[in-house]
Chain A
């Protein structure tokens, strides 16, 4: 039996509700995006219902602690198709067992969530580290990213606390939305780019006059801090995989 849901968090939670109502036995949860009808398998389309979803969420909160709620949310943000099924089964598993069952690392769904959460948290941490702002001529610090997972909701609070006295935008080019901090609060924004515009590195005319100076100083600093006698390219690449170089000011040729 396959359960199909719309890919949203409430949809996923509704699916859990429906399972307990129907008890159909073994079920695989798939999002509508990747679902392919199979000849001999039955399927059931879950219709997202916020009331049901809220009940499941409330139940989950009673069963697992804060740390695991976070892991659950992170795994969801991974947007990996297989993760949805593990999340679904993780819910079934915790609801069927006594509180504390989530620390059973021998269970495949517990282990899977722990792994997904680790990847997502790592990507979140990398964004906190590798995002580089460029100061625009209207004093907004701008950065465009395309992270592997949907981490904007996770990094929001970090940047809001840290850069409380400057306006900033972090834009996810892949998912086409961004965060804008207006010195009071963070709002979700979408931007329309014209075709000629360089989304990642806007032209110098849009930039603050000192932006180039600090970029050059930072590149200089990066070169000076290196000790040539200790060169270790393998370790360097392990810490800064090539796919992140596009974010890094110090990795752009001057």
Chain B
């Protein structure tokens, strides 16, 4: 018994780990029935794996049996791996006991498709209902929407889950068709918009009727695999942007492809996952969501791919030197936010603090500005007077000379002679 459950957990956790989402934020469920669990608005990472990713949720598949044969997936039908399936009670027991020990923030439940979409979705629904109704569990639940499942099942699941997600898998339809001929983006769009419409509907009803159940309070997310097919960064981010806009997604995740098979359509086994590229894509994602950048400013036909050696914000600034230098003591918040080396927190503090007098360099440093980077793009009360106008390329060289990329060690293919 002991060994069997261990084996199942190993197989089904291993198969689920390529889903990168582990966020537990945005939950609004309160422990008002004296049960177990209470959500924490910003989410909590309870530990981190050795690859540095947050572990917040118990992320497992209900089963890794699957009728599909998607080339990028470890659980594809043709792959020769051990198969296993949890019972509903096993998942409930694991979740409750892990949660009680403060190991996790909640459950992330996904599944391979066995028999058909509805059969699979029904099982997932059984788990979440049992947790919420029988166990009085108020922790976080992230549930996969199974593409092709009936509207009634998806709608019912939405009443118990905090977040639901469906993965786009590949950034473009062409890429998806290449690796998973049985799937299409349309399969994803249909349930995404169905859930989105319901979220909007419930929110509207909430204004009229006081006691209305929550419906997917933490919103929806999706994931794209990066580097398995040859899309440009522009294609990836334009797709992400369109999905953010159309379905009000909370997050789009970019997962660097980790080679898992010798399929000739994809990078071969042993290829390094594109970690630097993944990082640059996330930086762009943040610029779009928190820094007021339009995706077209960062990526366009002239610049279809992100710079490797510098981050996208610095890259944009260097291409647009006509906006700089910005006067910290006069410029509006949106422009201060665009200065490389100044983040959201620092920008907010600057706007508050300058009401009390002109800000100086030493104060900016204390506030948390990365001054060595920011100084080329801003002036403050005691900025040294500068006659020479530096070119963007010169500034880039200065900044690169005094900083070292954390990726340089692993990324360099160049042999070292001395």
Contact = CB atoms under 8 A, between A and B. Distances in A.
A128 B44 contact: yes
B58 A221 contact: yes
Interface of chain A: mostly helix, strand, loop or mixed: helix
Given A130-B46, A162-B38, A240-B47, A106 B101 contact: no
Interface stretch (A3-11, A20-28, A210-218): A210-218
Given A105-B363, A226-B49, A249-B103, A161 B38 contact: yes
Contacts of A103: 352-353, 355
Interface in B80-111: 94, 97-98, 100-103
A250 B13 CA distance: 15
Interface in B347-379: 349-350, 352-353, 355-357, 359-360, 363, 366-367
B10 A134 contact: no
B288 interface: no
Nearest to B17: A225
A216 B258 CA distance: 27
B35 A111 contact: no
B109 to A, nearest CB: 14
Contacts of B10: 220, 224
Contacts of B275: 230, 232
A237 to B, nearest CB: 9
By CB atoms of chain B within 10 A, which of A125, A130, A162, A239 has the most?
A162
Interface stretch (B1-9, B289-297, B332-340, B395-403): B1-9
A225 B46 contact: no
B45 interface: yes
Contact of B35 (A108, A134, A165): A165
A129 B46 contact: yes
B44 A125 contact: yes
Contacts of A128: 40, 44
Interface residues of B, number: 58
Nearest to B363: A106
B382 interface: no
Interface string A150-187: 00000000100111111000000000000000000000
B50 A231 contact: yes
Given A226-B51, A236-B48, A239-B45, A105 B352 contact: yes
A104 B353 contact: yes
A133 B101 contact: yes
Interface in A196-242: 210, 213-214, 216-218, 220-222, 224-236, 238-240
A89 interface: no
Interface in B1-53: 2, 5-6, 9-10, 13-14, 17-18, 30-31, 34-38, 40, 44-53
Contact of B34 (A164, A210, A228): A164
Contacts of A210: 97
Given A163-B100, A164-B34, A226 B45 contact: no
A240 to B, nearest CB: 5
A232 B36 contact: no
Contacts of B273: 229-230
A226 B10 CA distance: 11
B272 interface: yes
Nearest to B139: A162
A106 B356 contact: yes
Given A221-B9, A240-B48, A229 B17 contact: no
B52 A133 contact: no
A105 B352 CA distance: 8
B47 A250 contact: yes
7 contacts: A111-B366, A161-B31, A164-B35, A226-B17, A230-B52, A230-B275, A236-B48
Interface of B: 2, 5-6, 9-10, 13-14, 17-18, 30-31, 34-38, 40, 44-55, 58-59, 94, 97-98, 100-103, 136, 256, 258-259, 272-273, 275, 349-350, 352-353, 355-357, 359-360, 363, 366-367, 406
Given A125-B44, A213-B2, 7 more contacts: A141-B101, A143-B102, A164-B34, A218-B101, A227-B53, A229-B272, A232-B52
Interface of A: 101, 103-108, 111, 125, 128-135, 141, 143, 158, 161-166, 210, 213-214, 216-218, 220-222, 224-236, 238-240, 248-250
